[in-house]
Amino acid sequence: MDALSLNEKNVFDVASIKQQFPILQQQCRGKPLIYLDSGATAQKPESVIEAIRHYYQYDNANVHRGVYQLSERATQAYEQVREQVRAFINAEDQHEIIFTRGTTEAINLVAHSFGALQIKADDEIVLSYMEHHSNIVPWQMLCEKVGCKIKIIPLHEEGTLDLNEYAKLLTPRTKLVSIIHVSNVLGTVNPIEQMIALAHQHNIPVLIDGAQAVPRMPIDVKKLDCDFYAFSGHKLYGPTSVGVLYGKRKWLEAMPPYQGGGDMISRVSFNKTEYNVLPYKFEAGTPNIAAVIGLGAAIQYLESIGMDAIQKHEIELTHYAQQKLSQIPGLKIYGHAKDKMGVISFTLDDIHAHDVGTILDNEGIAIRAGHHCAMPLMEYYKVAAMARASLGIYNQKSDIDALVRGLLKVKEIFGRYTHRE
């Protein structure tokens, strides 16, 4: 089935999209599956599954190393995806696109390699309260190693960053700003273009964690002028264990390799090793070729829908979800930024988020429950855990209505609500 999302009246056709995701055609606990956990991992359309199957059935060979036809086909397909990614985020050239295992490895790569190059004792790295653990722990590890310090951008109660205080944190000691584009807990879309410009006024490079942003909106790294941008394939309706690090060429050329081994070398002797050119300098070992090819299929699928249309759909559905959920007595939503999309986190009375998630599961509704790999943010809001509904292109208003009914049932089970006709 073609991945067409707009019908003749230019309406986002969710029903047609949903039909292209085989996993969503099943029942869970005897109920139609309603999947509201795309922020953790998005489901995969048939075209992505087929692209991976086709590679293993017809083209399976290692890349860059064989002179035979299978290897040539695999290499061509693999490198074609690099160009797809370049165009998808509007990078300057393919050498700025590094394939990784995901956002986490991409950030670790920068922390290890850029950190070794640029960050010394008493230097400072600026993060925010809303960062995912993957954008906290690598920098803490670097601090333990070299003696640098982390500074935190304060957060307003409604879930927006204090930009006045952010500006004050940018000093001659600041060697990097690393911030999330879209919060995986609050749904806040941070004003990163403005934040990048402020940092660049002090010649401070900026890394953006785009894991939640790339599936939801058009990304133009040249317009943003970010120095690094990281994202994952599995949140982009592609396979797990593949992701991308975009880096400006001036930084990537200067940075030392992250890992050693095959493909990142041009010549090895026991006396000296000469490293390969970009981007291969950072791609040691046999890559996850099938996953990269699946990522290319996912990008092609999303582009057939249109990222502008996806962004509009997600914003509208987020607003609808906020409105409906806010009408439930005892439900508290965290994150009320004006610019918000894709994610709604909440608590319900004094009911633990895990209990909320378990009862909803019995209704066929899949949500997230826990600290969402953002424990400092949980501490800020003084909660142990939150329930989270995160949206995808296959979700619609009826899914939100079912979530509301499910949450009322949770309240009823815990004696917080009596159903009345």
Residue finishing a domain among 270, 286, 303: 303
Domain harbouring 409, CATH code: 3.90.1150.10
The DSSP symbol for 277 reads P
Q: Would residue 87 count as lying in a domain?
A: yes
Task: Examine the domain organization and report whether 261 and 208 are in the same domain.
Answer: yes
Q: Quick one: average pLDDT of 381-403?
A: 97
Task: Examine the domain organization and report whether 260 and 354 are in the same domain.
Answer: no
Annotated catalytic residue, options 28, 143, 226, 373: 373
Task: Examine the domain organization and report whether 58 and 168 are in the same domain.
Answer: yes
Task: Examine the domain organization and report whether 140 and 279 are in the same domain.
Answer: yes
Burial bucket for residue 415 (CB in 10 Å: 0-12, 13-18, 19+): exposed
Q: Would residue 42 count as lying in a domain?
A: no
Q: What is the pLDDT of residues 123-139, one digit of tens each?
A: 999 999 999 999 999 99
Residue pair 181/212 in contact (Cβ under 8 Å)? The answer is yes
Structure confidence at residue 261 (pLDDT): 81
Residue pair 224/193 in contact (Cβ under 8 Å)? The answer is yes
Range of the domain at 388: 14-32+306-413
- The number of domains in the chain is 2
Q: Please give the angle made by the CA atoms of 18, 21 and 27, to the nearest 5 degrees.
A: 85
Task: Examine the domain organization and report whether 229 and 316 are in the same domain.
Answer: no
Task: Examine the domain organization and report whether 257 and 289 are in the same domain.
Answer: yes
Task: Examine the domain organization and report whether 132 and 169 are in the same domain.
Answer: yes
Confidence of residue 419 (pLDDT cuts 50, 70, 90): low
* Residue 373 annotated to the active site: yes
Please give the model's pTM, rounded to 2 decimal places.
0.95
Q: Would residue 337 count as lying in a domain?
A: yes
Structure confidence at residue 9 (pLDDT): 46
Task: Examine the domain organization and report whether 236 and 298 are in the same domain.
Answer: yes
Task: Examine the domain organization and report whether 82 and 230 are in the same domain.
Answer: yes
Tokens of 253: 């050329």
Q: What is the pLDDT of residues 153-203, one digit of tens each?
A: 999 999 999 999 999 999 999 999 999 999 999 999 999 999 999 999 999
- Rounded to whole angstroms, the Cα distance separating 208 from 131 reads 11
- Rounded to whole angstroms, the Cα distance separating 179 from 378 reads 17
Task: Examine the domain organization and report whether 347 and 256 are in the same domain.
Answer: no
Domain harbouring 259, CATH code: 3.40.640.10
Q: Please give the angle made by the CA atoms of 292, 298 and 299, to the nearest 5 degrees.
A: 95
Q: Would residue 219 count as lying in a domain?
A: yes
Q: Would residue 6 count as lying in a domain?
A: no
Task: Examine the domain organization and report whether 273 and 313 are in the same domain.
Answer: no
Task: Examine the domain organization and report whether 222 and 209 are in the same domain.
Answer: yes
Q: What is the pLDDT of residues 336-380, one digit of tens each?
A: 999 999 999 999 999 999 999 999 999 999 999 999 999 999 999
